[in-house]
Amino acid sequence: ESYDKGAFDHYMRKEIADQPEALRRTLSGRLEPRFQTTHLGGITLTARELLDVRRIRILGCGAAYIAGALGAHLIEQLARIPCQAEAASEFRYRNPVIEMDTLYIAVSQSGETFDTLAAVQEVKRKGGRVMGIVNVVGSTIARECGQGIYLHAGPEIAVVSTKTFTCSVVAMALLAVHLGRLRDLSNANGARLLRALDALPDRVAAILEREDEIARLAEFFQGAEHAFYVGRSAGYAIAMEGALKLKEISYLHAEAYPASELKHGPLALVTPETPTVIVLPRDDLLAKNVSTIEEVKARGGPVIAITHPGETHAPFDRSFEVPALEPELDPLLLNIPLQLLAYHVARQRGCDIDKPRNLAKSVTVE
């Protein structure tokens, strides 16, 4: 893969477009249809050792931390192992208790983020087990972990992460299926998820073809200085990532909030000038999300729903509908339009998309 922008105006846009190919590389050689599981050759823990894992904790910074939050949902759902993500920077300073039956996972695009590296070293120093989910082969974090899953997403130049966010989540989905099939995930469910993972690159490509629709949605932010991104459960992780992208490149103040918590504070700030983006996957929280939309609308707040066709007749103002694939992977698909939304809002505001002020691609200092 070359380092130039090709036909695109920005590296970020090129890297969004790269996603189907990047995903194919992350998946390559890792789907095992015969056993309805995944093959992860970079993990040195044995099946027996993986079965003894009682908890998983995922560590990362920025988008890598948010990818971990979505990965934690997948692992908990598919493998039924309690799993939580935590900002590596918080973890390393709070004198964490390292448990021998916990598996620690460090997520990092560059493999050089100082706080994530320090978290890995803290786990190792206390005798814990850690694996990496890293893009850059041979990077410091990858070497320090000694085992894990490489993304093979190709170089990512834009400061904000897009394709490596998507590929990190897919790497954790591969791990979730693997751990699930060692436990109670059925053959049928294993096969269903393998088929969905295999279909994912084409599904992402189909969303990218609808860029014009998303560019029109971006006009919704004209005149706004504040926006809310809300969702529940995995939808909340997507809301976090959507808000992070928007604030990083457009300099709009975007706040992600669990939809259920709006009424405990932020609702006081909702006005006709504060758009709310609600992430609505097909899950059993849909009805609750509809009542959140009604709460926001009742205060005059404009609402954009990122959802699936035919899911709801809630009174949102605009929507972008992504054909559903499988419930476990749908939240990840809902993130793709949010990447393009942030990109187009930033473009319309004339921002320096590839090099946002005050930010660095890789933070190698404390």
| Binding footprint of ligand G6P on the chain (CB under 6 A) | 61-64, 108-110, 113, 116, 159-161, 359-363
Q: Which is nearer to ligand G6P, 109 or 289 (CB)?
A: 109
Among 346, 251, 339, which Cα is nearest to 18's? Answer: 339
Place of tokens 């949010």: 338
Place of tokens 């469910």: 189
Three-class HEC string of 299-325: CCCCEEEEECCCCCCCCCCEEEECCCC
Q: C-beta of 60: minimal distance to ligand G6P in Å?
A: 6
Q: Which is nearer to ligand G6P, 118 or 363 (CB)?
A: 363
Q: Which residue is nearest to ligand G6P (CB)?
A: 62
Q: C-beta of 110: minimal distance to ligand G6P in Å?
A: 3
Q: Which is nearer to ligand G6P, 36 or 161 (CB)?
A: 161
Token couple for 125: 């120093």
**Residue 219 vs residues 10, 40, 135, 224: alpha-carbon distances, Å:** 20, 43, 34, 10
Place of tokens 């709009």: 252
Q: C-beta of 336: minimal distance to ligand G6P in Å?
A: 17
According to DSSP, the residues that pair with 83 across neighbouring strands are 56
Q: Which is nearer to ligand G6P, 25 or 318 (CB)?
A: 25
**Alpha-carbon distance 190 to 178, whole Å?**
9
Q: Which is nearer to ligand G6P, 115 or 328 (CB)?
A: 115
Q: C-beta of 114: minimal distance to ligand G6P in Å?
A: 9
Q: Dihedral of CA 5/9/10/14: which sign?
A: negative
Maximal C-alpha separation, the chain? 57
Among 109, 108, 152, which Cα is nearest to 130's? Answer: 108
Q: C-beta of 343: minimal distance to ligand G6P in Å?
A: 14
Q: C-beta of 366: minimal distance to ligand G6P in Å?
A: 13
Amino acid at residue number 100? M
**DSSP of 137-170:** TT-HHHHHH--EEE-------SSS-SHHHHHHHH
Place of tokens 């056993």: 35
Active-site residue, 361 included: yes
Which among 5, 124, 297, 361 is annotated as catalytic? Answer: 361
Q: Which is nearer to ligand G6P, 57 or 203 (CB)?
A: 57
Cβ–Cβ < 8 Å for 288, 232: yes
How many C-alpha atoms does 202 have within 13 Å on its Cβ side?
Answer: 6
Residues involved in catalysis: 361
